[in-house]
Structure 1
Amino acid sequence: MTGAIPALSFRRRSLLAALCLGAASALISAPALARGPDGIADVAEKVIDAVVNISTTQTVEAKGGSEGHRVIPQLPPGSPFEEFFDDFFKNRRGGKDGGLQPHKTNSLGSGFIVDPAGIVVTNNHVIADSDEINVILNDGIKVKAEIVGVDKKTDLAVLKFKPPHPLTAVKFGDSDKLRLGEWVVAIGNPFSLGGTVTAGIVSARNRDINNGPYDSYIQTDAAINRGNSGGPLFNLDGEVVGVNTLIISPSGGSIGIGFAVPSKTVAGVVDQLRQFGELRRGWLGVRIQQVTDEIADSLNIKPARGALVAGVEDKGPAKPAGIEPGDVIIAFDGKDIKEPKDLSRIVADTAVGKTVNVMIIRKGKQETKKVTLGRLDDSDKATPVSVKTKPDSDDKPVTQKALGLDLAALSKDLRTRYKIKDSVKGVIITDVDADSDAAEKRLSAGDVIVEVAQEAVSSASDIRKRIDQLKKDGKKAVLLMVSNGTGELRFVALSLK
């Protein structure tokens, strides 16, 4: 038979098994280690009853017309099949005219009990837009649940239900103590099979996959598939160290790259959702950007680290504390800031109203500022985009060239052409050399240079003087503070070569 594996005789199978066992014994003294530690079975037995399936129902509006991919046959009046097709399409599709009716869809995810009173943690995307949510316990009992609160930014949700009997709950462990290579156990509902246990190791920590503003995932090779979302990731002490949330897979199945929200994040979110029904995140009131090697060199920061303050909210907590654009935040509340996302996560996790020390570098010197945090407005608001228009006049302003830029004084005419607010001060860019470093850094006509090397400029000659001085000082790059038409700032480092 083509493609079939031929069967071996009992004698040959026995001999082959003996040879394999002998070879394995010779190669490794403890073959059980290849299967993982013996404690996995103890963990699974201890926590399995705390892991639940999440069943959701959602009403979906059906699409009509050709999009439905159903065509109603046109039958002559009096045809013996006319009554049959009328009944079929009326019952299945909502009427004789073939109009499509809304229908219900079901899906299954995973979750886990954190309080015997009936509190369950899962992913927000598991229950989003659902009309009905049910929790299915490990013994098969199905109970209706309701939402306590959700947090879209971390993709977490808390549910509650009335316990039909005493429940098993699990506790959170410390995800910060996880080590690379440490064994972890995932339990969930892959492909709607019901409670399933898989094991693997911690492949990476603090993984940022650009999925959200507070990415800091645990990466694991424990098999995680569709339906595992919202399920727990356990350490070998039976503590929850993460919530399985994402996988990377071209096929939809596990290829050994799964991600879990760390328990340190989950525990804080769950506490706030249970207490307030919403998240109350700390707010510093700054816009930040990456400190690149070029920017670090311009600011005399070695090694490159921290979060560069590109803008300060007028009504934010940072402004009265004395934090300014151009400052580099290197520590917040005693925690080192290596990159901007570190600051975003730490500020968000800090209690609203708490006064903290913020360490900055300003013009090469370290300073400490005290800031009392406000509360972040988590509502999704559209960010206004400044519109840059081409000159509507043939009158060309007097310009000077520097760093591949055509620079001009900010006249009333140029403010009107490029929609520059009166509050924006500096030197306007009227053209950019397509082959320059400035073009690569996305500078464009209508941008306004406010500062050069942390000194304010008001004319093109000011900029040229600063550049000439930096070259004499042996600098390799120059740091520009650039504003758009609405006054939003950012920093750009350009090569002086």
Structure 2
Amino acid sequence: MNRPLSKRSKLRAALLAAPLTVAATGALIAAAPATHVKTETPAASAPVLRSESIGVANALSDAFRDVATHVLPSVVAIENRPDTSWQSAKQPIPDSGQSLEKENPFKGTPFEDMFRNHEFGRRGGNAPGQMTPRQAPRSQAGIGSGVIIDSAGIVLTNNHVVEGGGTVIIKTQDGREFTATEVLTDPQTDIAVVKFEGDSSLVAAKIGDSEAMEVGDWVVALGQPFGLESTVTAGIVSAKNRGIGITDRENFIQTDAAINPGNSGGPLVNLRGEVIGINTAISSRGGGNNGVGFAVPSNLAHWVSDQLVHHGQVKRSYLGVSIQPVNYELSTQLGVAPKSGVVVTNVFPKTPAAKTGLKTGDVIVNFGGIHVTTPQQLQLAVERSPLGNTLTVDVVRDGKSIELTYEPEAAPNQFGASTQSTEKSDGVKMQSLGLEISELSADVAKQLGMESQTGVVITRVQEGSAAAESGLKPGMVIVQVNRHDVSSPGEFEKQIAEDSDGSVLLLVRTTQGSRFVVVQN
């Protein structure tokens, strides 16, 4: 008697029978000689690209192509061929038995400098792994880049590309070579002008306005990296007004456009094909590009080149002050916004600054119509002031805005150059600040190189104190406390006792200059 299967039994029987069915079906399929079974599956579709996105990308690509086509004919390679007829005393010819350093296997190739140990920075080598801004090295000894700014025969480049003497050769994009007739340099900005006998067939690049560039703007770097011809890289402006310590006059444009060995002296241009900088330095651990490059702004480079072409040297104006930036702590003491100007810490007698009426503690916010927020900006604005003109200087004095008049004068040689010495002596201890002060006698002032100065001299600074944390050191002369002149320890103590907000504003001076210091009391 057959009993009906339960639902669970039916399911179990079906599962046991399933492999047999599949196997049998498979055998039948295999046995069918001309049977093709087509399985219908939905086709995978590619994502739809938006026409707007493609249009934007193509437009940017077209812009880069147009810039390269437009500017490359103006880019040149510069070779500085040294005079090898004289043997340097610093490099004696070794005799046959003298051991030599292992030769670079890439010597004589465009990659020689990439595998050579470099000495980074201006003042010595770096610790392993340390990244330091430095001048972009030339790909081979004496090879760099430049840009034609006048078809009559004027090339703008870096000083470090052509320095050292020798014969300077200019190689154009069409394969021609010209020998320089004159090389004019300005080491303070690392800018040089190379003159040669040009002709109307040469293409000169247009100089743009570097001040109009903003962080985030696209830029293109052109040059001859590694000795290769016509190389173009793209990036953006990463920062402006950079000072990195490789030249005396700095206001660099920072960019992530690749600046490699041999790019030195080549142009940095905007998407209109205008030169807005001269490629100068890279920040590198091993000599190559690390995405941090620096260029001299075109406004500064153009002014320097005009000075060199017309005068053979750079004529700079001067003001005659010591200055420092306005940081947050200092701004609260001076009653101005942080980074809103540059504060005057000393006015030298018989200088244009003294004649202008500037005073210690003035915050210069505009100079000749140029808004200044860093000492570098003010220095460059002053130096470019044309002689014979009259300029306005907007300052904030004791919280009030006033306008002064400045008449530029040529900077004397070695203005402000001096040496510094210090000497300790017993004095009055200021425990709340962590320093000891003493009267600035005539003998002490002479030893410090500040015979005409009045104030009190710091003789000792307690380690870990507020004074030490503020950067005060023995030998510094304090001339003001909270904007009041002091000439004795007693006057100093009196001003400190009258302090009520917990911080003290000191004006200190050394032979190197003056600056304001905020010390927590």
Structure-2-length-normalised TM-score: 0.75
Report the Cα distance in structure 2 between the residues aligned to 1:341 and 1:375, rounded to whole angstroms: 18
**Alignment of 1:409 onto 2:439:** yes
**Number of the residue aligned with 1:203:** 238
Report the Cα distance in structure 2 between the residues aligned to 1:415 and 1:340, rounded to whole angstroms: 28
Contact 1:423 1:487 in 2 (8 A): no
**Number of the residue aligned with 2:28:** none
Summarize deviations over 1:360-414 as a string: whole Å, max 9, x none.
222332222111111234x5679322222345xxxx5566655222233345675
**Number of the residue aligned with 2:3:** none
Shift of the alpha carbon at 1:286? 0.9
**Number of the residue aligned with 2:492:** 463
**Alignment of 1:441 onto 2:438:** no
- The letter of the residue matching 2:292 is I
Shift of the alpha carbon at 1:239? 1.8
Report the Cα distance in structure 2 between the residues aligned to 1:164 and 1:371, rounded to whole angstroms: 43
Summarize deviations over 1:77-106 as a string: whole Å, max 9, x none.
xxxxxxxxxxxxxxxxxxxxxxxxxxxx94
Aligned counterpart for 1:386 among listed residues 416, 420, 425: 420
Secondary structure class of the residue paired with 2:188 = coil
**Number of the residue aligned with 1:350:** 385
- The letter of the residue matching 1:187 is L
Secondary structure class of the residue paired with 2:181 = strand
Contact 1:409 1:459 in 2 (8 A): yes
1:257-406 superposed matches below 5 A: 257-377=292-412, 383-391=417-425, 396=426, 401=431, 403-406=433-436
Contact 2:151 2:199 in 1 (8 A): no
Shift of the alpha carbon at 1:222? 2.5
Report the Cα distance in structure 2 between the residues aligned to 1:347 and 1:282, rounded to whole angstroms: 6
Report the Cα distance in structure 2 between the residues aligned to 1:119 and 1:413, rounded to whole angstroms: 56
Aligned counterpart for 1:50 among listed residues 74, 77, 82: 74
Summarize deviations over 1:110-153 as a string: whole Å, max 9, x none.
11111111111111110001311011111211111133521212
- The letter of the residue matching 1:188 is G
Stretches of structure 2 that go unaligned for 5 or more consecutive residues are 1-42, 100-139
**Number of the residue aligned with 1:429:** 458
Summarize the Cα distance change of 1:241–1:22 in structure 2 as closer, same or farther, 3 Å threshold: farther
- The letter of the residue matching 2:439 is A
Contact 2:481 2:504 in 1 (8 A): yes
- The letter of the residue matching 1:403 is L
State the aligned residue count. Answer: 437
1:124-203 superposed matches below 5 A: 124-163=159-198, 166-203=201-238
Shift of the alpha carbon at 1:157? 0.9
Report the Cα distance in structure 2 between the residues aligned to 1:252 and 1:399, rounded to whole angstroms: 51
Summarize the Cα distance change of 1:481–1:69 in structure 2 as closer, same or farther, 3 Å threshold: same
Please say which structure displays the higher CA radius of gyration: 2
Summarize the Cα distance change of 1:468–1:109 in structure 2 as closer, same or farther, 3 Å threshold: same
Secondary structure class of the residue paired with 2:379 = helix
Shift of the alpha carbon at 1:62? 4.8
Aligned counterpart for 2:54 among listed residues 19, 30, 47: 30
Return 45-54 or 32-41, whichever deviates more.
32-41
Summarize the Cα distance change of 1:36–1:68 in structure 2 as closer, same or farther, 3 Å threshold: farther
Report the Cα distance in structure 2 between the residues aligned to 1:168 and 1:27, rounded to whole angstroms: 37
1:454-493 superposed matches below 5 A: 454-471=483-500, 475-484=501-510, 489-493=514-518
Secondary structure class of the residue paired with 2:206 = coil
- The letter of the residue matching 1:404 is G
Stretches of structure 1 that go unaligned for 5 or more consecutive residues are 1-18, 75-104
**Number of the residue aligned with 1:11:** none
Contact 1:400 1:408 in 2 (8 A): no
Summarize deviations over 1:286-339 as a string: whole Å, max 9, x none.
111122322222222234532121222223101112112222212212222222
**Alignment of 1:249 onto 2:280:** no
Secondary structure class of the residue paired with 1:256 = coil
CA-based RMSD: 3.2
Contact 1:183 1:202 in 2 (8 A): yes
Return 329-338 or 179-188, whichever deviates more.
179-188
- The letter of the residue matching 2:388 is G
Contact 1:186 1:199 in 2 (8 A): yes
- The letter of the residue matching 1:152 is P
Contact 1:213 1:341 in 2 (8 A): no
Summarize deviations over 1:137-178 as a string: whole Å, max 9, x none.
112111111335212122111111112672111211222222
Summarize the Cα distance change of 1:382–1:487 in structure 2 as closer, same or farther, 3 Å threshold: closer
Shift of the alpha carbon at 1:349? 2.3
Provide the identity percentage.
Answer: 39
- The letter of the residue matching 1:458 is S
Report the Cα distance in structure 1 between the residues aligned to 2:263 and 2:513, rounded to whole angstroms: 42
Secondary structure class of the residue paired with 2:324 = strand
Summarize the Cα distance change of 1:324–1:118 in structure 2 as closer, same or farther, 3 Å threshold: same
Contact 1:400 1:460 in 2 (8 A): no
Structure-1-length-normalised TM-score: 0.78
Aligned counterpart for 1:72 among listed residues 97, 101, 115: 97
Shift of the alpha carbon at 1:185? 2.5
Summarize the Cα distance change of 1:420–1:138 in structure 2 as closer, same or farther, 3 Å threshold: closer
Contact 1:55 1:133 in 2 (8 A): yes
Shift of the alpha carbon at 1:462? 2.1
Report the Cα distance in structure 2 between the residues aligned to 1:385 and 1:324, rounded to whole angstroms: 25
